[in-house]
């Protein structure tokens, strides 16, 4: 079978295409024919050697993939050949609170990832995908969508009387927009591009702000909310955005600390946190139970993920470069091997 391997952590140039024997499922495992993958900012960081402890190389990259069960191992009861599934980001976080060793079971990091023609996972490490979604759409769910879902729904208690602020128009933020709208909330979206803001409005954003032409976007959020501020910020910007996210916040508001596309350090003012009675919570993707609940909601609302572009399997490094360029809106997808 065809796989991509990260052989050196030097960016997309470190990816090599190789042929290896197809794996076989052992007891309790399923063999998945992968039909599509999606990329996350994390995959760029891992490829460049900027994410946590170095993984064992060569590494099959990517946490995200969807496909169909091709074969089942002995004793598997949850699945049958032909079932449409996606892998879970954390293979060992089934339910309840996140455990300290969850990251040791993350696909495309501590464990081999999904950028392969076939992969073998535990029968507990996959979920059924929504039947209305294509494989390309469902491949966007395991990391970005679930992170936004944990932030807003599983822990955020987002509701129709709230305003949610999403930063930039990448994968997590566009799912944040869609999930907030699904719960009836008002959404303010920011971007450095007017074209992308038009796409965000088409996806449901109520108000948009270009953070390049309006650098004081925190003041604009306060203006758009008549001075009350955003109730929940999906914070993916990090260094450049966190202090302004705090100043955009309503009294008793929440900030979900998710990412740091501009860096993970911060010189925030602690007094802004206490003066706002702010609730600040780190979010680490989500559990299998949360993934199942999210898929139920997405099915009920026939939600369609924002797929920016689909690259052929043979052009995987080009897909990485596309994400790196920041030209995308929503998710970048790689089709399954032919």
Ligand X SMILES: NC(=O)c1ccc[n+]([C@@H]2O[C@H](COP(=O)([O-])OP(=O)(O)OC[C@H]3O[C@@H](n4cnc5c(N)ncnc54)[C@H](OP(=O)(O)O)[C@@H]3O)[C@@H](O)[C@H]2O)c1
Q: Is 192 in the site for ligand X (CB under 6 A)?
A: yes
Q: Is 258 in the site for ligand X (CB under 6 A)?
A: yes
- Backbone φ and ψ for 238, nearest 5 degrees, come out as 75, -130
Instruction: Tokens 């032409």: give the residue.
Output: 213
Q: Is 196 in the site for ligand X (CB under 6 A)?
A: yes
Instruction: Please name the residues in contact with 283: beta carbons below 8 A apart, sequence gap of 6 or more.
Output: 147, 150, 151, 155, 256, 257, 258
Which of 168, 253, 305, 317: binder of ligand X (CB under 6 A)?
168
Question: In whole angstroms, how close is the CB of 112 to ligand X at the nearest point?
Answer: 19
Residue closer to ligand X by CB (options 69, 307) is: 307
Q: How far apart are CA 69 and CA 67, in angstroms?
A: 7
Question: In whole angstroms, how close is the CB of 284 to ligand X at the nearest point?
Answer: 5
Q: From start to end of the chain, where are the E strands? A: 2-6, 15-19, 29-38, 64-72, 84-87, 118-122, 126-128, 163-166, 186-191, 207-210, 230-235, 249-257, 279-282, 307-311, 331-335
C-beta nearest to ligand X: residue: 170
Size of the site for ligand X (CB under 6 A): 31
Residue 331's nearest CA partner among 199, 232, 150 is: 199
Side-by-side strand order, sheet with 249-257: 207-210, 186-191, 163-166, 230-235, 249-257, 279-282
Q: Is 151 in the site for ligand X (CB under 6 A)?
A: no
Q: Is 187 in the site for ligand X (CB under 6 A)?
A: no
Q: Is 215 in the site for ligand X (CB under 6 A)?
A: no
Which of 87, 109, 156, 171: binder of ligand X (CB under 6 A)?
171
The 5-44 site mask, x for binding ligand X (CB under 6 A), equals -----------------------------------xxx--
Question: In whole angstroms, how close is the CB of 214 to ligand X at the nearest point?
Answer: 12
Q: Is 172 in the site for ligand X (CB under 6 A)?
A: yes
Question: In whole angstroms, how close is the CB of 38 to ligand X at the nearest point?
Answer: 9
Q: Are 242 and 234 in contact (CB under 8 A)?
A: no
**Burial degree of 9 (CB within 10 A; 0-12, 13-18, 19+):** middle
The 92-131 site mask, x for binding ligand X (CB under 6 A), equals ----------------------------------------
Which of 246, 261, 278, 280: binder of ligand X (CB under 6 A)?
261
Question: In whole angstroms, how close is the CB of 255 to ligand X at the nearest point?
Answer: 13
Residue 117's nearest CA partner among 319, 318, 338, 332 is: 338
Q: Is 245 in the site for ligand X (CB under 6 A)?
A: no
Q: How far apart are CA 68 and CA 70, in angstroms?
A: 6
Residue closer to ligand X by CB (options 76, 98) is: 98
Bond preceding residue 127 cis, omega within 30 of 0: no
Residue 186's nearest CA partner among 225, 148, 150 is: 225
Name the residues that contact ligand X, by CB under 6 A: 40-42, 143-144, 147, 167-172, 191-193, 196, 211, 236-237, 240-241, 258-262, 283-285, 323, 326
């Amino acid at each position: 079978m065809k796989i991509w391997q990260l052989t050196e952590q030097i960016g997309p140039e470190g990816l090599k295409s190789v042929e290896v024997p197809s794996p076989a499922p052992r007891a309790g495992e399923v063999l998945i024919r992968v039909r599509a993958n999606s990329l996350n900012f994390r995959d760029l960081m891992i490829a460049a050697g900027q994410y946590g402890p170095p993984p064992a190389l060569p590494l099959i990259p990517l946490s995200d993939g969807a496909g169909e069960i091709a074969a089942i191992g002995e004793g598997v009861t949850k699945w049958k050949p032909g079932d449409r599934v996606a892998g879970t980001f954390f293979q060992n976080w089934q339910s309840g609170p996140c455990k300290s060793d969850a990251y040791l079971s993350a696909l495309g990091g501590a464990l081999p990832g999904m950028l392969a023609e076939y992969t073998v996972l535990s029968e507990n490490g996959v979920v059924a995908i929504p039947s209305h979604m294509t494989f390309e759409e469902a491949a966007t769910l395991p990391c970005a969508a679930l992170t936004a879902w944990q932030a807003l729904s599983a822990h955020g208690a987002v509701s129709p009387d709230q305003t949610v602020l999403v930063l930039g128009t990448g994968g997590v933020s566009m799912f944040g927009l869609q999930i907030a709208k699904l719960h009836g909330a008002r959404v303010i979206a920011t971007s450095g591009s007017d074209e992308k803001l038009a796409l965000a409005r088409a996806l449901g954003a109520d108000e948009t702000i270009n953070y390049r032409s309006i650098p004081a976007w925190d003041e604009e959020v306060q203006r758009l909310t008549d001075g009350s501020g955003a109730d929940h910020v999906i914070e993916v910007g990090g260094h450049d955005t966190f202090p302004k996210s705090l100043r955009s916040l309503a009294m008793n508001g929440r900030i979900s600390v998710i990412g740091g596309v501009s860096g993970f350090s911060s010189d925030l003012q602690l007094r802004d946190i206490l003066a706002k009675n702010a609730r600040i919570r780190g979010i680490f993707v989500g559990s299998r139970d949360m993934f199942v609940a999210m898929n139920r909601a997405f099915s009920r609302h026939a939600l369609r993920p924002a797929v920016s572009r689909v690259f052929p399997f043979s052009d995987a490094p080009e897909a990485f470069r596309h994400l790196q360029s920041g030209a995308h809106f929503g998710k970048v997808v790689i089709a399954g091997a032919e």
